[in-house]
Chains A and B, each alone.
Chain A
Amino acid sequence: MKGQRFLGLAYLAPYIIGLAVFTAMPFLTSLYLSFTSYDLMSSPKWSGLANYERLFTRDRTFMKSLNVTLLYVFITVPLKLAFALFIAAILNYKLKFINFFRTAFYVPSILGGSIAIAVLWRYIFASEGLANMALGAVGLAPVDWFGDPTNALFTITLLRCWQFGSAMVIFLAALQSIDKSLYEAAAIDGAGKVRTFIFITLPLLTPVIFFNLIMQMVQAFQEFNGPYIITQGGPLKSTYLLPLYIYDEAFKKFNMGYASAIAWVLFVIIMVLTLVAFWSSKKWVYYAGDKRS
């Protein structure tokens, strides 16, 4: 099929055009815009490093927003993954109704991005909502979820942890693919359940843990719907994540240059953390058939 050297490119043409027009070009343009001031009315004015200088030296909102974002990601991602893995490990035993449980746990993931669920969250964590009623039922004092800056962010973390289903399904699929003879060998050697889990199961799961970690992290850094609907970034900007700040700067105040600079800071943070994860993965991710142990 020598005449077909370019046939593949023909099939790929829509993707290539899309890549150029909707990804590559905007990617470079946003880098350029981040060095300009641009209000959409007149053409962009080059301002050098002024945007970045303002971000890191004078912009208190940015500092606050950056802190909140990092806090949110570093709490939400590990909590969600640990919970997903824990439930997947339990489901991996031969249980009845496993399909029922898997479905029940997965439903929130299907709906989770929906605005309707964010709305529901406002009701559940309202001062007389379900969450406080549940606390009251076990004799605990009600919590001021949305009024108190220390609690508000946690309601969004809870919302995203509630959606642990998709990570769990991936873990479960990986758990079910583990060779049973490894467990038998461990049992013959006298290893208990916990030791087997730590020394056999976990290492074999590291590729999916790695995959889930990256995907969940990239996603968590871009959280928008939750804080936008549930808390509007408040109280006292305690849930004002960077995507909210970018949205306000870009689409409310039309400071396109400044918003691009914030977006690039966020991008660089995500990229650095992704690269660190990839780089460190050589040390902790185990691929079956790999000589390293």
Chain B
Amino acid sequence: MANSQILTDAPVLDDIQAARRVKIGLISATVRYVLLFSVGLVMLYPLIWLVGASFKTNSEIFAGAGFLPESPTLDGYIKGWQTSTPYTFGRFFWNSFLIILPKVIGTAISCTMAAYAFARFEFPLKKIFFVSVIAILLLPNVVTRIPQYILFRDLGWLDSFLPLWVPSAMAGDAFFVFMLVQFLRSLPRDMEEAARVDGANSLQTLVYIVVPMLAPALISVCLFQFMWTMNDFLGPLIYLSSVDKYPVSLALKLSIDTTEAFEWNRILAMSVLTITPALIVFFAAQRYFIEGISAGGVKG
């Protein structure tokens, strides 16, 4: 095609194409929004329904698809909170807290130390140890669970929180080590070198220079560990046998097993309560979740 022809046709073609493009753009934008809204509805409606249904009377729960209770009642919350055990749900929340707090602190400290070692030091077998981090990341827990159980039994740790705390406090959650190493490698070393020149030792450098710079990643680590521990079911199921040590996840399972079949609102009410801490933490610190997961990629 000759150049002149393109030149003369161009403006007209542009006008028509521009008009078409606007039209197509409008249609496809509409399609996109409709699609996103309907997917969003399907995503969130079960949760909205859960909250609404927890305030319904038992006879109303399966009567319709709406989420607004006709005659709202706190019955489910009051009776569910009492549980069929000698303890209230408050006790189980306290247990969850007792499991989570030391675990999160232990994770943060041990994973920071490991990441510091990998990102800032040369030492024998470094490569092999780093490969082991990836290996643990991919190793299915199912294969180590039985010997771990036997080990904890021999140590006399069964029915205590130790099996839930200690492996994490030894940097056992390789994902966090990996994530912190990646983050630390991307940080400049100038500040650390300056501190060393000023006479700080490596531990002082870690505490006063590296940890503050690492803070955003560390917050992500703590938040994810909080969520995962809050949701963890299999660990407590295997290791804890006395009801007075149950975290909320086990207590909820217990209340399903022991509540009369038609007392639905109690179970729904306690379900709402068990997910509330996680939701509050998520909405308060959303940014760290999205950044953490985008940076390292996460299971979930």
Contacts and interface: CB of A to CB of B under 8 A. Distances in A.
B172 interface: yes
B233 interface: yes
B72 interface: no
Contacts of B149: 250-251
Contacts of A178: none
Nearest to A270: B140
Contacts of B138: 214, 218, 274
A214 B138 CA distance: 8
B20 interface: no
B177 A15 contact: yes
Contact of B233 (A111, A115, A221, A251): A115
B116 interface: yes
Contact of A130 (B46, B136, B230, B234): B46
Interface stretch (B11-19, B83-91, B122-130, B214-222): B122-130
A181 B202 CA distance: 45
Contacts of B47: 107-108, 111, 120
A246 B118 CA distance: 36
Given A14-B110, A90-B35, A114-B274, A9 B123 contact: yes
Given A95-B36, A215-B299, A274-B138, A119 B146 contact: no
A119 B62 contact: no
Contacts of A11: 113-114, 116-117, 121, 202, 206
Interface residues of A, number: 94
A243 B116 contact: no
Interface in A248-276: 250-251, 256, 259-260, 263-264, 266-267, 270, 274
B162 to A, nearest CB: 12
Contacts of B172: 18, 22-23
B278 to A, nearest CB: 6
A6 B126 CA distance: 11
A151 B145 CA distance: 30
A120 B33 contact: no
30 contacts: A4-B202, A8-B121, A9-B123, A11-B202, A12-B114, A12-B117, A15-B177, A18-B110, A22-B166, A26-B147, A27-B139, A27-B147, A33-B147, A87-B36, A87-B39, A102-B290, A106-B289, A107-B47, A111-B47, A114-B278, A116-B50, A119-B252, A119-B256, A120-B271, A123-B61, A129-B62, A169-B290, A208-B297, A221-B142, A224-B234
Interface of A: 4-12, 14-19, 21-23, 25-27, 29-30, 33, 40, 87, 90-91, 93, 95, 101-117, 119-120, 123-124, 126, 128-130, 133-134, 137, 162-163, 165-166, 169-170, 172-173, 208, 211-212, 214-216, 218-219, 221-222, 224-225, 228-229, 243, 246-247, 250-251, 256, 259-260, 263-264, 266-267, 270, 274
